[in-house]
Chain A
Amino acid sequence: MGLDALEYTLVEQFRLTNLKQLEYGKVDISSFKKILTPMIWTSFITGLSPKEHGVTAFYKWDEKWARWLRNFSASIGLGRIKEKGRILEKFGLAHRRIHEDKDLKERGIKTIFDYAEHPIAFSVPSYNEEPSASAFHKTDLLKGYYDGKVTGEEVKKRVWSSFERRKRNLTETLDRDKKWDLLMFYEHGATDLLGHIFRGNLTEMWEIYVQMDLFLKEVKEKIGDETFTLVVSDHGMKPVGRYGVHSSYAFYSSNIPLNLNFPKITDFKDIILEKLRE
């Protein structure tokens, strides 16, 4: 279970026994220059550094336009492509999209899902993320909140409605499909987006985290104790006054002993593959 921005210190402070499982701790993400959601999750599913997997931003420019923009930029002696791309985007001449599995395949990169016989992925970044549930698209909602166009209560309503829909989808899949050997559920809105808005208010955060704790309990009741269950975040969330920004470590927990000591996010790929082989 990938819970974006799940903060270690809050799991500890709230004494959330389901999320802690048998073994839990912090995850080392210090090798990442930027603490950025798609980049870190891609490292989790590939076991590679951003330099190796190539996902270094929230979005990917449409290839045709990216090539054209790069050439154009070079031909007129201009520097970075980012800002110019955004200007062209405003005129409908360029567009960005979320990273997809095909981008990794084009580079010959395998993910954990390639090693499973019957994998199921629920909106996993850089693999099959639902556009509406992606971090990239949710930033609009967050900007709307900071600009005062959307209230925190409205954001909460939208996030929980999306979470409930996806939770139902997972429950139905677990009831229907008994063949899967690797399943990854990923949630961004509840833990990351709401964390940016409410991190300074511990009661709000408790309300979010306790829902995640109960969610994991429900899932584990369905899949059984014998199923290896790993909970991972890509980074945490630290308070800045009433709001929140990414903290420089992530979280993991396991229902079986792994005896890890401050593991790197890239270490989990081999652990997952080992469990798949078992």
Chain B
Amino acid sequence: MNLLELKLKKSKQVIDEAFSKFEKVATIWDTGKDSTLLLFLTRQTDGNIPVLFSDTTQHFKETYEFRDSLAAKWNLNLINVIPSVSYDEVKEDPKRCCRSLRTLPMAKKIRELGLDAVFVGKRWVEHPKRAQENYFSKRANCYQVHPILHWTEKDVSNFLGSHKISHNALFDKGYERVVCEPCAEPASSKLPERPESQKDKEEVMRRLEALGYW
């Protein structure tokens, strides 16, 4: 079994465990590559799983087009999560904007649906904060389940490519992730998944030297 097969096996174990543990589950899909992979995997167990899409009203047209085309192709049980405030009301403050258009409406919808758990496509190497995440993570309202934590960006692309799963056209235009149009950043601003730090390296070398390593 190669590494990608091992990773897939682990993801399926986590998904199966979540389905057996929780009665009401849904998957969060933002049309990005990670959540599309997760959607593909969760649908292998339950083809009718509720799919929560956070419709901030500010997505690129490519995102809406991909959402609609895949929803039709895979016959998704799609739930558009729509905010109760308009973009114009919150656009001056990016943090408030994100919270009002994305985070709060999603939390409200999860409560309304009475979900026990939601699948989220987080990966450990995306950000140092995500390195703390576990496969099953208890939140205020319900559990977050992260079946693809251990995948790399390359693993995700390879898997989607080998299974001929289409992707959001934003990626073909140089965007590295799916974001709302007003906050879109050029691809070159993305941080590497494994940043190096000379300071960290020196610290480790100092400690090892103190132990007599060299």
Which of A108-116, A126-134, A241-249 forms part of the interface with chain B?
Answer: A241-249
B6 interfacial by beta-carbon distance below 8 Å: yes
B57 within 8 A of A: no
Give the nearest-CB partner of A37 in chain B: B211
Q: Are A203 and B152 neighbours in the complex by a CB distance under 8 Å?
A: yes
If A13-B134, A146-B201, A242-B197 touch, whether A202 touches B213 (CB-CB below 8 Å) is no
Residues of B within 8 A of A245 (CB): 203-204, 207-208
Known: A143-B214, A202-B124, A203-B125. A241 touches B200 (CB 8 A): yes
* Cα–Cα, bound, A210→B4 (Å): 12
CA distance A201 to B123 in the complex (A): 11
| B195 in the interface (beta carbon within 8 A) | yes
Residue A15 at the B interface, CB < 8 A? yes
Q: Which of B125, B194, B212 contacts A57 (CB 8 A)?
A: B212
Q: How large is the interface on A (under 10, 10 to 19, 20 to 34, 35 or more residues)?
A: 20 to 34
Q: Are B213 and A242 in contact (CB under 8 A)?
A: no
Bound: A201/B130 CA distance, A = 11
In the complex, whether B85 has a CB less than 8 A from a CB of chain A is: no
Do A142 and B208 touch across chains, with their CB atoms under 8 A apart? yes
Q: How far is the CB of A221 from chain B (nearest CB, A)?
A: 15
State whether B199 touches A241 (Cβ < 8 A). Answer: yes
- For B150, list chain A residues within 8 Å (CB): 14, 202-203, 206-207
Q: Residue on B with the closest CB to A241?
A: B200
Cβ of B113 under 8 Å from chain A: no
Interface residue B205 (Cβ < 8 Å from any Cβ of A): yes
Interface residues of B in 91-133 (CB under 8 A from A): 123-125, 128, 131
B202 CB to closest chain A CB (Å) equals 9
Residues of B within 8 Å of A, CB-based: how many? 31
**Given contacts A146-B204, A243-B200, A243-B201, A34 and B211 within 8 Å (CB-CB):** yes
Q: CB-nearest residue of chain A relative to B197? A: A241
The listed residue (A15, A196, A201, A239) touching B135 by CB distance below 8 A is A15
Q: Say yes or no for A276: interface residue by CB 8 A criterion.
A: no
A93 is an interface residue with CB less than 8 A from chain B: no
CA distance A53 to B195 in the complex (A): 42
A15-B135, A245-B204 are contacts. A201–B212 as well, Cβ < 8 Å?
no
Contact B6 A210 (CB under 8 A): yes
User: In the assembled complex, how far is the CB of residue B152 from the closest CB belonging to chain A, in whole angstroms?
Assistant: 5
The contact of B204 among A34, A139, A196, by CB within 8 Å, is: A196
In the assembled complex, how far is the CB of residue A15 from the closest CB belonging to chain B, in whole angstroms? 6
Interface SS, A side: mixed
Per-position binary interface string of chain A over residues 185-228, scored 1 when its CB falls under 8 Å from any chain B CB and 0 otherwise = 00000000000100011110011001000100000000000000
Residues of B within 8 A of A36 (CB): 211-212
Partner of B213, one of A143, A200, A201: A143
User: Is A183 positioned at the interface, with any CB of B under 8 Å from its CB?
Assistant: no
Report B160 CB to chain A, min CB distance, Å.
17
Contact in complex: A201, B134 (CB < 8 Å) = no
A35 part of interface (Cβ distance < 8 Å): yes
- Residue of A14, A196, A202 near B131 (CB, 8 A) is A202
Tell me the minimal C-beta distance from B119 to chain A in angstroms.
16
Task: Tell me the complex Cα distance, A210–B150, Å.
Answer: 11
- Among B154-205, those with CB < 8 Å from A are 193-197, 199-201, 203-205
> Are A240 and B204 in contact, with the CB atoms below 8 A?
yes
Chain A neighbourhood of B195, CB < 8 A? 242
B residues less than 8 Å from A246 (CB atoms): 207, 211
- Given A146-B201, A240-B203, A241-B200, also A203-B124 (CB < 8 A): yes
Residue numbers in A under 8 Å from B134 (CB-CB)? 13
CB distance from A147 to the nearest CB of B (A): 9
A contact set with B: CB distance below 8 Å = 13-15, 34-36, 57-59, 139-140, 142-143, 146, 196, 200-203, 206-207, 210, 214, 239-246
Beyond the given A57-B212, A210-B10, please list 7 additional residue pairs across the A-B interface where CB-CB is below 8 A. Answer: A14-B150, A146-B204, A203-B124, A240-B200, A241-B197, A241-B203, A246-B211
What is B's interface to A at a CB cutoff of 8 Å?
3, 6, 10, 123-125, 128, 131, 134-135, 149-152, 193-197, 199-201, 203-205, 207-208, 211-214
Interface CB pairs A-B, < 8 A, 20: A13-B134, A57-B212, A58-B212, A58-B213, A139-B208, A139-B213, A140-B214, A146-B205, A196-B208, A200-B194, A201-B124, A202-B150, A203-B124, A203-B150, A207-B150, A240-B207, A241-B199, A241-B203, A245-B203, A245-B207
